[in-house]
Amino acid sequence: MRLCAALTAVSLLASCTTTYAIPKPELARLDGFRDENAALMRELGDVMLNRVTERQRTVRDVEGQAHQFTSDTPLALARVSAQTDAEFQRFIEVGVDGDRFRGVPLEGSTSSAAAPPVIVPLSEVDHARLREFSLGKTLLLTGTIGVVLMGSLVMVSKLFKPTSGSDGDHPGGVIELGPQPRAVPETL
């Protein structure tokens, strides 16, 4: 049963998201991104002074489809020379200029200090990848797994023969647990 639950969890996590390729020029749209709710106490001054800080930005993938980037959106930079996949991270602050990408990751930040920024020269970046949660895929996969599990339980129950002791009064069988105790009359 634990194996089934583990397989279900892994398959849900694997297929609940879709990854989109974001062209390198679109990274400039993320310049100046800050999420004051996810960011640390050092941004409290911006909020108190009513400075505008956008909590989301819109970027387009290679097919022209628009996607919202927030501090909850995993982003990975695909490097030109790298042979391995880039690691997806969530960022609370992003700065992009003509030379480099600078992002402060959400993971590793505490209430007193930010995580060290990720700084990557743009000359090393081929494109970015953005991961989005897909509710439709999640519901479809969960429903399919539920139907398969229920079907397998029904099929397994069909393999067992009815227990002994079936009669017209008790359809479906009776489980016999051994000899039944009998009342012994008391003698005084």
Query: pLDDT tens for residues 81-130?
Result: 766 666 888 888 899 988 899 988 887 655 556 678 888 888 888 889 98
Whether the per-residue pLDDT at 57 is higher than 50: the answer is yes
**Rounded to two decimals, what is the model's pTM?**
0.56
Whether the per-residue pLDDT at 163 is higher than 80: the answer is no
Return the amino acid letter for 111. Answer: S
pLDDT value at position 60? 92
Residue range 13-44, pLDDT digits in tens: 555 778 888 999 999 998 988 876 665 444 45
pLDDT value at position 43? 46
Return the amino acid letter for 33. Answer: F
Categorize the per-residue pLDDT at 66 as very low, low, confident or very high, splitting at 50, 70 and 90. Answer: very high
pLDDT value at position 41? 41
Q: Which two tokens stand for residue 26?
A: 């679109």
Higher pLDDT, 78 or 47: 78
How far apart are the two ends of the chain, measured CA to CA in Å?
56
Q: Which two tokens stand for residue 127?
A: 């494109």
Could you tell me how many residues make up the chain?
188
Q: b/e string for 103-142 if b means 16 or more Cβ within 10 A?
A: bbbbeebeeeebbeebeeebeebebbbbbeeeeeeeeebe
State how far the alpha carbon of 137 is from the alpha carbons of 21, 76, 148, 158, in Å.
19, 22, 16, 32
- Rounded to the nearest integer, the mean pLDDT of the chain is 75
